[in-house]
């Protein structure tokens, strides 16, 4: 890599960034991510604003959100 780079360490808290993937099947996507090697951080759950969200860390330590679409009223 042509610029300085520090690899993430899965043994320390995640970096201050998150990638979130939007899906209609949060529970299924969460289960597939964990089966593929991600570490479960938060099981799928309902939020006060009507979204279903969950969190995993990938094998490299990246924080990944898996969430349902936000619907407007």
Tokens of 51: 């979204």
Instruction: Give per-residue pLDDT as tens, 24-45.
Output: 999 999 999 999 999 999 999 9
CB < 8 Å & 24+ apart, contacts of 58-62: 58/33, 59/10, 60/7, 60/8, 60/10, 61/8, 61/9, 61/10, 61/11, 61/12, 61/14, 61/15, 62/8, 62/14, 62/15, 62/17, 62/19
- Indicate the domain borders of the chain: 24-60
pTM of this structure: 0.84
pLDDT of 60 over the 60 cut: yes
> Which pLDDT value is given to residue 73?
58
């Amino acid at each position: 890599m042509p610029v300085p780079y520090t690899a993430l360490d899965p043994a320390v808290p995640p970096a201050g960034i998150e990638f979130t993937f939007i899906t209609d099947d949060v529970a299924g996507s969460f289960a597939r991510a964990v089966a593929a090697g991600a570490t479960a951080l938060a099981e799928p759950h309902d939020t006060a604003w009507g979204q279903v969200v969950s969190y995993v860390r990938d094998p490299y330590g990246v924080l990944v959100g898996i969430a349902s679409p936000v619907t407007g009223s």
